Structure 1
Amino acid sequence: MPWLGEELIMPILPAHMLSPAAMRSQLYSEFMDIYLPRTGRLDHFSFFEFIATMPTTEPALLESMDALSLVTVGSLNKDRTLLNLSSRTYGRALRSLAKSLTKPAEALRSDELLATTTVLATCALYDEIGQHADGFFQHVNGCQQLIAARGPQSIKSELSLLLFSNTKHGALCSALIERKAPLMARPDWRAVALTSPLQDSSTLFYDTAIQIPGVLERLDQVIHDPNTTSPRIETTALDVDNLLSECERLENELRNFFADWQLRALLDDGFTPMNNSGVLYSEQPIDDFPTFTSLCSDRTFDTAFLFPSFPVAYLTSLYWMCLYLLRTSAQGLHKLRHEIDETWHPSPDSAVTEDELLVYAINLCKCVPFFCEPISSSTGMIGIL
């Protein structure tokens, strides 16, 4: 039984299904069952459902979805045949995308090619495909370049809005690691996100968080970190004070977001507070996370955080990560400000302690078991990490 031109018998498909379109439809359905969270959805993951059911003849998009579906199903089943096929299909998708991009005028108008780059970025998160650590970043940057060339006014169709929402997530993760301000942090693109009809609990969070990589980039310039390639500038007390003010502004926005989020959760009739305490998560014994404990024998932490749904866990973990980066930045700026003027000291309420930073790091560690459980699906075990 051929699979889209390849010599493969698909073990997940019934023998009577010989139509490539029918086989592809069932494969995509299997992929979505495995990859998407079982409770709650976020816009920047739900676009997979949209493109899996939309009619298209774009080879690059079809091949990229084939590759992602095959590697997802193959990874779960530890099926080497499917994994090898996913790698070959990924290569074909790259060649088809490159061919389509040779026609710039058409490529810039194509939501399907924009979708292709997004799907390929997700493919690169799997070890079986992403042989190089920068594969994900290359696809995310390519997606941003396509969006930038199109301009904010082009984000109108339902698919383009879903893709833009997804790109915000990839751009944030990439930019935080690279410590460079992303395209999405520009005021015109932030305005697109805030006025989009696709709004959820993450909208205001992302509006603040997407500005943090720019702070990290400026921090590397003023501190003259020898491990970065940022250009050196002459640092004055005013430079440090301005950057500290920016850190404090973003920190306050994040904390206000989280407090408001908790309050809205309490007022939401459809939301069940964890432990009836009104918080977004509860701390539970590590044995309450059987999938994680079966994979990891380490018991450095004997408890972990339980969340009501994957979206809540996802945003909460990003919140702690962003706070950690902002507060470590503030700590570095405090030291630099004191070096410039030894009489200067941070106020007691703004000083950063190692204990505070350790809390954020431990909180992130205690999220990992939840992301390994079936409720988070493959998005938790692959995408979130």
Structure 2
Amino acid sequence: MALCVAKIGDLCGDEGLTYESLKLYQRSLRQLQLALWDPELMLDDQTLTACLALGMYEMSQCPNRSKQGYVSHTLGCRRLVELRGPEAHMDGLGHAVFIHFRVQGILYALDQGEHSFLGDPLWQEVPWRKRPKTPYDRIYDFLTRAPDLRNQGDMLQFMDPHSQLQLATEMIWNCWKMDSELEAVYDSLERSHEGPLFWSELARNKTLHGDSRDGVLFPVAFHFANLQVANTVVIYWAVQIILWHGMWQLYRLTAELQVHFAEAAAKGEDSAEPTSDAVSTLFKFPPLQHRTDFAAPCRNVFQSVEYSLQEDMLDQGPKCCAAPTRIAYETLRYYPKYSREVAWAETAQELIQKRSMMLLRYYVPRR
């Protein structure tokens, strides 16, 4: 009820309804706390569902004018899910709520750069013993690995060249394996669906695309078979962004290391390091080819925003593209040559925020 009244308040610009929704939200918090104090109710499906619903209210309204309420409920859900164990989420309401929470939990861990129990083998397998994973579920499996890979990448700057080479090589082959597995998931999605997953249409959202002396950045927008397909394909592109950008950075590092070791060998220095003959063997990586263009999946995400913001998508459309748009934005904003794409993404995020996603206002990009 709190969520519904808040939405009506947003649509009608009625502060009275917004205030009433806040009172309902506060009543809900009290009831949830009572349930959490009751040993018979604490691990009940309904209690977890209520916790998740309150997190949705925080995402929509941010009543404390910060992201802390949402973070608190996400952490509370995480603790409840973990305490209940994977077997409690195999079917019924428990499974449905787990699927919804899993997305939020994985995205939170990605934002924080921390490992999540959701990536552990038991949690990757047990909740789907009665219901097979969808391609959407399988693509989110890849995001559970992203924080560990990013943290490994952060360690490289503190290592000596030999250790850098060892870790970078391990990471590159791991990324190639992930790239192959990711493509297999997408192929299975295509095979299971009749007709194209998406197609191009002329862009129509003038607020999003505007008019520019340099021409419209994205003259066409992608449209999808349905919102479920859009949700899956757009998060697939988001994983591609993270993966391809990481591979591009690792290849740049290994190219620098190759020069370093070759020069050291020529001078007879660093005898413990690879010799020139070993260097030629160590750096036998497959060419990145189209994967060097990590901006391509970023543009794919951006060209999907118009579809997600259509009125008939209600609030589910904006939620579909919110995280992928932010991932694309944060990837490109460090490169001046993508300034137009970054400016476009900032406008897109403002529009997404206005569709019951006030939480975006309080997420400051990482430095």
Q: TM-score, normalised by structure 2?
A: 0.72
C-alpha distance in structure 2 between counterparts of 1:134 and 1:329, whole Å: 30
Match 2:174 to one of 216, 241, 246: 246
Q: 1:108 to 1:352 in 2, by over 3 A?
A: farther
- SS of alignment partner, residue 370 of structure 1: helix
Distance 1:340 1:192, change over 3 A: same
What is the deviation of 1:114?
0.7
1:301 to 213, 218, 224: 218
Indicate the residue corresponding to 1:285 in structure 2.
202
State the secondary structure of the residue aligned to 2:18. helix
Deviation at 1:153, TM superposition (A): 2.3
| Matched-pair contact (CA < 8 Å) for 1:304–1:366 | yes
Shift of 1:318: 0.4
Distance 1:295 1:244, change over 3 A: closer
SS at match of 1:336: helix
Whole-Å separation in 1 of the counterparts to 2:192 and 2:125: 24
Q: Give the corresponding residue for 1:349.
A: 287
SS at match of 1:126: helix
User: Aligned residue for 2:183?
Assistant: 255
Structure 1 residue matching 2:52: 3-state secondary structure: helix
More helix by share: 2
**Contact 1:215/1:243 (8 A) holds in 2:** yes
Gaps of at least 5 residues in structure 1 are: 1-65, 226-233, 267-272, 274-278
Distance 2:23 2:208 in 1: 29
Equivalent residue runs for 1:302-317 within 5 Å:
302-317=219-234
1:297 partner letter: G
- The residue aligned with 1:102 is 37
Identity of aligned residues (%): 20
CA distance in 1, matches of 2:231, 2:68: 23
Q: 2:304 aligns with which of 367, 370, 379?
A: 367
Amino acid across the alignment from 1:257: V
Q: Is the 8 A contact 1:223 1:336 kept in 2?
A: no
How far apart, CA to CA, are the structure 1 residues paired with 2:291 and 2:44?
Answer: 49
How do 1:136-147 and structure 2 match up within 5 A?
Answer: 136-147=70-81
Equivalent pair of 2:124/2:141 in contact (CA under 8 Å): yes
Give, in whole Å, the separation in 2 of the partners of 1:264 and 1:383: 21
Match of residue 7 from structure 2 = 72
Indicate how the Cα distance of structure 1 residues 295 and 219 shifts in structure 2: closer, same or farther if over 3 A, else same. Answer: closer
Match of 1:322 in 2: 239
C-alpha displacement at 1:365, in angstroms? Answer: 0.6
Q: Is the 8 A contact 2:90 2:131 kept in 1?
A: no
- What is the alpha-carbon distance in structure 2 between the residues aligned to residue 171 and residue 338 of structure 1? 36
Task: Note the alpha carbon deviations across 1:344-370, whole angstroms, 9 max, x for none.
Answer: 65745236765x111111111111101
Residue number among 165, 168, 178 corresponding to 2:102 in the alignment = 168
Q: 1:190 to 1:156 in 2, by over 3 A?
A: closer
SS in 2 for 1:335: helix
Q: Which residue of 1 aligns with 2:316?
A: 379
8 A contact 2:237–2:301 mirrored in 1: yes
Counterpart amino acid of 1:300? L
Question: How many angstroms apart in 2 are the aligned matches of 1:96 and 1:300?
Answer: 49
Q: Distance in 1 between matches of 2:117 and 2:35?
A: 23
1:358 equivalent in structure 2: 295
Q: What are the Cα deviations for residues 145-191 of structure 1, in whole angstroms up to 9, with x where unaligned?
A: 11111212222451111111111211222222222222211100001
Amino acid at match of 2:231: Y
TM-score (norm 1): 0.69
Q: Which residue of 1 aligns with 2:193?
A: 265
Task: State the Cα deviation string for residues 25-60 of structure 1 (Å, max 9, x = none).
Answer: xxxxxxxxxxxxxxxxxxxxxxxxxxxxxxxxxxxx
Distance 1:130 1:347 in 2: 50
